[in-house]
Amino acid sequence: MNRYSQLSVLFSAVAVMLLSSCVHNPDVPVSSTEVQNTPDIFPDYCDVTVPCNIAPLNFMLSSEVYSACVARVSTPGGEQRIYGKGVKVQIPEEEWHSMLEVSKGKSLRVEVWGEKDGLWLAFSPFEIHVAEEPIDEYLSYRLIEPSYIVYGYMEIDQRNLTSFEERQVFNNKVACDSPKGQCINCHSYQNYKTDNMMFHARGTAGGTIIVNDGKLKKVDLKRDYTISSGVYPAWHPTAKLIAFSTNKTAQVFHTVNPNKTEVFDSASDLILYDVETDCVSVICSDQELLEVYPTWSPDGKSLYYCKSVPLPEDMRDKDIRTTFQKLQYNLFRRSFDLATRSFGEEELVYDAAMANKSVSLPRVSPDGSYILFAEGQYGCFHIWHHDADIVCITLGEEMPLRLDLSKMNSAGFSDSYPSWSSNGHWIMVASRRDDGNYSRVYLSHFKNGKVGKAFLLPQEDPEHNIYRLKSYNRPEFMVEPVEISVNEFSKVFPK
């Protein structure tokens, strides 16, 4: 062998070594003991229905029980791939997407082996059903500590749902010199697009940051005739209008109850903000009752919102801190005439109080046929209520039908903040089901009124869901990313 041949052999050997260290495709165990149940994987992706463009559903077995995990994924066409490193199964994005592509409308079969005390266990295989409907490519959420009053670092991030890319939209320190920073919240988009969007920045030099056809501005929504500046927003689907609630909010803390904290309003109304003219008009401002969480129907002709039910007479004069557990909200709507900017009479859509329940956070499906909301025993801040679940009812029928969401809701943990993907086939919720404290994003398939088993937002490292000690707050679908950089956003704040 001459010198060049030796070098090329050496180079090839190094290349093979490097490649083999990057991609780890193990073999399935030669011998194993069969176990008559599906594996207890985290996250639980057994028999879920997933979008045909979702990022790899990486998972793991508990490292406290198992020392290794191997998974064989088979496509309907018989192609098989084997993964596993330690107790984790992490699938390369390209391979995963090619498997999804050939499995649309069908299922992937997953066989899992776990090594326990030196012996391999072969679990019953499970399936991952691949829906033909894709999911919106992006998702944004606020990452916050599930704190009480004090907040540290918080950020609004956007995540590509087809990959694991996560980028920051804004954070609460970049534009603020105060040690307390700002509280940034309530990011909202018009029709899932980002050229018209907004979020609030409270505190030092705060305001509402609005992107209007890609142009940035910071506005103050407080007027003499409103009880606060705008709080919970809802963009009109076609016009440059945003409905907001205005709220006077307070908190108390439980001594025993695992709900940890109670957030309640002592006053709340609805306003309409005209982005073009900077005008604020009052939609409704009942002196006795509380209106909150506006949301538009997809055609923009109706505004849905929650409104409190009058308290029993003997409780009306009492301090709200002692009565708020009796405070319940029903779902209402008003018609809206875009030409005259006028709202019609109030109409009861769902009487939750009749069933001794309370609703919050309504969202109408893109086809206008269904409405999702969170429902708990009382109040309107259900993300801290362990009994809170998501409810979906039909619209346009005299007696609304309540869909079966048992595969999506968790038992004994808060499920809140529901939303629809732009095609109406995916429902997203913020749920504290993993540990009762840190909320996570769960997704469910929706087709013809049938709701699939919820699955956790996949992460490149499945353990990420455990060690990220932040809550995913206000998850919102987007069909495109926010292109404005953090630094550009920060320029709207005075230096």
Partner 1 sequence: MRQGRWVFLLSSIIFGVAVMLFFALAYPHHLHFQEQYQLFQFNQNYILGVLSLPGGVADLAGRFLTQFFLYAWVGATLIALVLVGIQYLTYRLLSQSHDDIFANALSFIPSILCCCFLCDENALMSAPVALLIVLGGVLSIRCIRAEEIRQILAIISIPIIYMLAGAFVIPYTLMLIIGEIQKESSLRVILISCGMLLVASLVPVIWHQFVHCSLVKLYVGPHYYRIPDDFAIWAWVAVGINPVLMLLSKVLSRWNPRNAFVVFVSSWGVLMLLGGMMVSKQQSQAQENIMAYDFMARNALWNRILQKAQAQAPRNQVAAVALNLALAERDMLTSSMFEFPQNGIAGLLPNFTSDYISPLVTSEAFYRLGMVNTAQRFVFEAQEAIPDFQKSARCYKRLAETNLINGAYEVARKYLQALQYTLFYREWATETMTLIGDDKAVEAHPEYGSLRKMRIDQEHFFGGNELHQILVWLLEANPKNKIAFEYLEASCMLVKDVEKVSRYYSYSEALGYKEVPSAIQQAMLLHWSQNHSVSDPLPSNVQANILQGFKNFYSTMQAHNGNPAPVKKLYGNTYWSYYYFN
| Contact residues for partner 1, defined by CB under 8 A | 145, 147-153, 155, 168, 171, 173-175, 177-180, 252-258, 260, 262, 321, 434-438, 466-467, 469, 486-487, 490
- Residue 70: CB minimum distance to partner 1, A: 23
Distance CA 95, CA 82 (A): 11
Q: Which residues of 271-295 are buried (b: 16+ CB within 10 A; e: fewer)?
A: bbbebeeeebbebbbeeebbbbbbb
Minimum separation from the CB atom of position 487 to partner 1 (A): 7
CB of 202 to partner 1, least distance (A): 15
Question: What is the radius of gyration, based on Cα positions, of the chain?
Answer: 25
CB of 258 to partner 1, least distance (A): 7
Q: Cβ 81 to partner 1, closest distance in Å?
A: 26
Bond into 43 cis (ω within 30): yes
For partner 1, which is the closer residue by CB, 148 or 225? 148
- Could you give the 3-state DSSP secondary structure of residue 187? strand
Question: Rounded to the nearest whole angstrom, what is the least distance from the CB of residue 362 to partner 1 in the complex?
Answer: 28
Shortest gap between Cβ of 38 and partner 1 (angstroms)? 21
CB nearer partner 1, residue 24 or residue 321: 321
Of 152 and 344, which CB lies nearer to partner 1 in the complex structure?
152
Between the alpha carbon of residue 418 and those of residues 45, 118, 182, the distances in Å are: 20, 44, 26
The CA distance from 34 to 417, in Å, is 41
For partner 1, the closer of residues 336 and 493 by Cβ is: 493
Alpha-carbon distance of 469 to 462, in angstroms, equals 14
Element containing residue 483 per DSSP (H, E)? none
Contact 393, 304 (CB under 8 A): no
Query: Considering beta carbons, is residue 281 or 490 the nearer one to partner 1?
Result: 490
The single-letter code of the amino acid at 464 is H
Minimum distance from residue 155 beta carbon to partner 1 (Å)? 8
| Closer of 385 and 425 to partner 1 (Cβ) | 385
440-477 core/surface letters (b: 16 or more CB in 10 A; e: else)? bbbbbbbeeeebbbbbbbbbbebeebeeeebbbbbbbb
CB atoms within 10 A of CB 17: 10
Q: Which residue's CB is nearer to partner 1, number 18 or number 256?
A: 256
Q: Which is nearer to partner 1, 434 or 480 (CB)?
A: 434
